Structure 1
Amino acid sequence: MTLFAETLNEKEIIFPEITALAVGYMVAKNRSWKVNGKRMLSLITGCAIIGVCIVRFVPFDTYIEVILAFTIAQVIFMFSGTTFAPFVSAIVLPVMMHTTSIVYPIAAFVLTLLVILFHKLFLFQGIRADEEYVPVMLNSRDDMVDTSIRILCVTVIAGVAFRTGYRFVVAPPLLVAFTEFSRPRNKTRNMPVKTVAVITVCAIIGVISRYFFAIWIGLPITISAIVATSGMLIVIHFTKMYMPPVGAITMLSMIISESVLITYPIQIFVGSSLILFLSRMIFMRRQDNKLYEKEHELHAE
C-alpha cells in the first residue's frame, strides 16, 4: 500500500484503517467483529465514498463536516447488521484530511478486498478457523440512546480539539475505538491503563519510525511503514491486546503533516484516555446497571 502510494505519488492510496482490518480479520485469534466479507467491503467502500462527497459538496468548516460524517457513520452502524466499526474511520478520515480524490475510495475497496481474500486463504490453509456470521440487531431504543450519547460526546470533545488545534485528539481510529469501547460487554475497557498504554506506544512507534527513517535518514516512507507495522505487531503480540484501531493509529502517523508528528502521540494519549473514561463512566455504568430494555446483539430478522 505505502509502496504504491510513493511510486504513484498518491497519498490517498494510504488507507490506515486497512492495518486495523488486517489485525482484526487476520491477526487476531478470533474475528474481532460480527461481519462477513460482503458487508465489510460494502461498508468500507460506501463510507469512503460518502466521506469524499462530504468534502466535495458540503459547504461547512471541517469541524461540522467531521461531526456530520461521524453521525452518519453511527446511524449506519445501528442498521448495518454487524458490529463492524472500522468503517467509521473510512468516512471520517477523508473529511479530516480534506481528501477529494476518487483514488481514496478505490484504494479502500481494493485493499479491503485483499484483506478478505487473504482471510479466505487463511481459512483454506487451516491457519484460521471459520466463524459463522449471524446478522445482529443494534437498533433498539437503548442502542439509539448510546448512539446519541456517543455523538454528543464526540461533538463536545471535537469542538475543543479543533478550537485548540489538536484535532487528532479525535483521530478517526480513536472514533472507531470509542464506538467499540462504548458497546455492551466490551472487555477492553476493563483494562483502561493497559489499553491507553498500548494505543499510545503504537502511536509513538509510528512517529519514531517515520521521523528516523523517512525524515532524518531520508529513506522511502515504505521503510518507515514496515518498521512501524512490525513494531505494532510485536506490541500487540506480547500484550495480547489485539485492538484493531492500534493498527490504524500506527499507520496514520505516515500521512499526517510533519508539523504534527511531535504532538501526535500526546494527542492520541489524551484522546484515548478520554474515550476510555467516558466508556467506563457513562456507558459501562448504565449497561452494567441493566438499564437496557433487552439484550443487545439479538439476531436480526
Structure 2
Amino acid sequence: MKQQNIENNKGKAVSLFSDTQQRKRYLCALCMILLMIGIAELLNEKEIIFPEMAALTIGMWIVDKRVWRIRRWQMLLLMTVGACAGVLIVLYSPLPLVVNVALAFLFAAVCLLFARASLFPLISACVLPVLLNTESWVYPLSVFIMTFIIIAVQRWMEACGVRKTVIYEPVERQWQADVVRWICLLVSVLAVACLAVYTANFYFIIPPLIVTYVEFVNSKAGFRNRPVLTVLLLVTGALMGTVFQLLGYYYLGLPETVVALLIFMVLFTLFEWLGKFFAPVGALALIPMLLPAEALPWLPLQVLIGASLFIAMGMVFFQQCYKWSRAQLVYCLIPHYLLGRLNRKN
C-alpha cells in the first residue's frame, strides 16, 4: 500500500497543472492577488496590500476542501472588525508594542472562541497593523472589500462546479480546555514578541508565522506531522518574495504587479510539484512588498528563526513530542519528499 501511494504521488508530481478545474482556481487566485497589488500600486496606497488575502485565496479557492470552519457572513464581519481593532490599537493605545501585539492577538482569540470558528487568518488582520503602525482606515476598508470578493467568487465557483461546495460545521467547543489553550498560546506568543522587540528582530513575529503557530496547535491537518517541511515552506515563501522584490522591483524597476505575478507563478508550481498547499506561505511571499529595502536581506533568516521557535514550541508544549517513539520522531522530522525517495530506493 505504501509503495502504491508513493507511485501515485510520483505520477501527480510529473503531470503539473493537469487538473482543468484546478487551473481555473489558480487563475482566479492569481487575478485576485494581482488586482490587489495593482490597485495599491496605482493609488500609491500600501495599506491596500493585505498579505493574508493570498492565504485566503489559496484556502478558499484553490484548495478543494474546507480549510476553515466559519460562516461566510462571519468571515466578512470578523475580518473587517479585526482590521478595525488593529488600527484602533495603533491610534489610541499608549502601551508598548509588545503589549499591543498581545492585545491584538487576544482580541482575535476571543472573537474566534465566541464565533465557534477556526478562521485563524483573523489573527493576521489584527496584528499586522500593530506591527506596521498602520493608522489609515484604508486598510480595514480594503480588507472588507477583498473579503467580500473572496466570498462571492467562492460561491460562484461552487455554483459552476469549479470547486466542491463548502458545508459549514461549527467548531466543537470544550470551553475550559479551549480557554486554557488560548491562554497558553497568548503567553508563548508574548514571549516570542518580547524576544523579537527587545532584540530588534521584529520579523520573528511576522503575522503569517503567528497564524501558522496557532493552526499548528489547533488544527488536525496533516501539516502537524510535517514540522520540518512546514518551516522549509515558510522560509521558501519569504525567500522567494524577498529575492523577487529586491531583483525585480528595486534592481530592475519592474512594477510590483509583475513581481507578484512572477512570485505566484513559481509558488503555485511549487505547490503542484509537492502536491500540497500551505496558505501562510502565500502571505509570507507578499510581506516583502510592505517592508523597506534595507530590511529585506534579513527577512528570510528572521523567518527561519521565528518559524523554528513557534513550531518547536508547538511540538514540545502542545504535542509533547518528547513522549514520541524514535520512529515517530524520524517520520516527522524528515520531509516527506525525502522519505518517499528513501522508500523508493529501499
TM-score (norm 2): 0.80
Residue type at the aligned position of 2:279: P
Structure 1, unaligned runs of 5 or more: 290-301
- Say which of 215, 220, 230 aligns to 1:185: 220
Report the CA distance between 1:163 and its aligned residue.
0.9
Q: Distance in 2 between matches of 1:241 and 1:76?
A: 29
**Which residue in 2 is equivalent to 1:219?**
254
Q: Which moved more, 1:88-97 or 1:230-239?
A: 230-239
CA distance in structure 2 between the partners assigned to 1:263 and 1:236 by the alignment: 25
**Uncovered stretches (5+) of structure 2, i.e. residues with no partner:** 1-35, 325-346
> Aligned match of 1:12 in 16, 40, 47?
47
Structure 2 Cα separation of the partners of residues 225 and 276 of structure 1: 28
Three-state SS of the structure 1 residue aligned to 2:168 is: coil
- Over 3 Å counting, the alpha-carbon distance change for 1:282 and 1:184 in structure 2 is farther
Distance (whole Å) between structure 2 residues aligned to residue 236 and residue 277 of structure 1: 24
Query: In terms of mean alpha carbon deviation, does 265-274 or 45-54 score higher?
Result: 265-274
- Give the letter for the 2:65 counterpart: N
SS state at 1:253 partner: helix
Q: Which residue does 2:170 correspond to in 1?
A: 135
Deviates more, 1:41-50 or 1:250-259: 250-259
- Partner of 2:68, secondary structure, is coil
Larger radius of gyration: 2
Task: Report the more deviating stretch, 225-234 or 190-199.
Answer: 225-234
Task: Give the structure-1-normalised TM-score.
Answer: 0.92
CA distance in 2, matches of 1:252, 1:221: 12
Question: Distance in 1 between the 2:258 and 2:178 partners?
Answer: 42
Match of 1:123 among 148, 158, 161: 158
User: Does structure 2 retain, via aligned residues, the 8 Å contact 1:184–1:284?
Assistant: no
1:131, CA displacement in angstroms?
A: 2.2
Measure the CA separation in 2 of the matches of 1:8 and 1:122.
Answer: 30
The whole-number CA distance in structure 1 between the counterparts of 2:221 and 2:317 is 13
**Residue 269 of structure 1 corresponds to which residue in structure 2?**
304
**Counterpart amino acid of residue 23 in structure 1:** I
Per mean C-alpha deviation after superposition, the further-off stretch among 151-160 and 132-141 is 132-141
Moved more, 46-55 or 133-142: 133-142
Which sits farther off after the overlay, 145-154 or 59-68? 59-68
**Which residue identity is paired with 2:281?**
V
**Separation of aligned partners in 1, 2:319 and 2:264:** 31
Structure 2 matches for 1:104-119, cutoff 5 A? 104-119=139-154
Name which of 176, 186, 211 aligns with 1:151.
186
Distance in 1, Cα, partners of 2:197 & 2:91: 20
Aligned to 2:344: none
What amino acid is the match of 1:44?
M
1:97 aligns with 2:132: yes
2:295 to 242, 257, 260: 260
Measure the CA separation in 2 of the matches of 1:274 and 1:60: 25
Select 2:234's aligned residue among 194, 199, 204. 199
My pick for the range that moved more, 178-187 or 85-94, is 178-187
Q: Deviations over 1:210-257 (max 9, x none)?
A: 111100001111111121122222222222332211111111111112
Question: Residues 41 and 256 from structure 1, CA distance in 2 versus in 1: closer, same or farther, beyond 3 angstroms?
Answer: same
Stretch deviating more after TM superposition (233-242 or 22-31): 233-242
SS of 1:218's equivalent in the other structure is coil
1:25-65 deviation line (CA, Å, top 9, x unaligned): 00112121111221111111010000000000111222221
Alignment equivalent of 2:267, drawn from 224, 227, 232: 232
- Give the residue type in structure 1 aligned to 2:316: M
Q: For 1:75-101, what per-residue CA distance to the aligned partner results, in whole angstroms no more than 9, with x for missing partners?
A: 222212111100100000001000010
| Rounded Cα–Cα distance in structure 2 between residues aligned with 1:186 and 1:220 | 37
The question of 1:68 aligning with 2:103 is answered: yes
Contact 1:47 1:91 in 2 (8 A): yes
Decide which moves more: 91-100 or 247-256: 247-256
Shift of 1:186: 3.9
Following superposition, the deviation at residue 72 of structure 1 comes to 1.5
Aligned 1:240-255 pairs, distance under 5 A: 240-255=275-290
User: What SS is found at the alignment partner of 1:82?
Assistant: coil
Per-residue CA shift, 1:109-163, capped at 9, x if unaligned?
1111111111112111101111210222335111111101111111111101111
Which stretches of structure 1, 4 residues or more, deviate above 3 A after TM superposition? none
Specify which of 166, 170, 186 is matched with residue 201 of structure 2.
166
RMSD between aligned residues: 1.6
Alignment partners' CA distance in 2, 1:246 and 1:138: 28
Query: In the alignment, does 2:210 pair up with 1:175?
Result: yes
* Alpha-carbon shift at residue 187 of structure 1 (Å): 2.4
Count of equivalent residues: 288
3-state SS of 2:98 partner: helix
Q: Provide the C-alpha distance between the structure 1 equivalents of 2:79 and 2:271, rounded to a whole number of angstroms.
A: 24
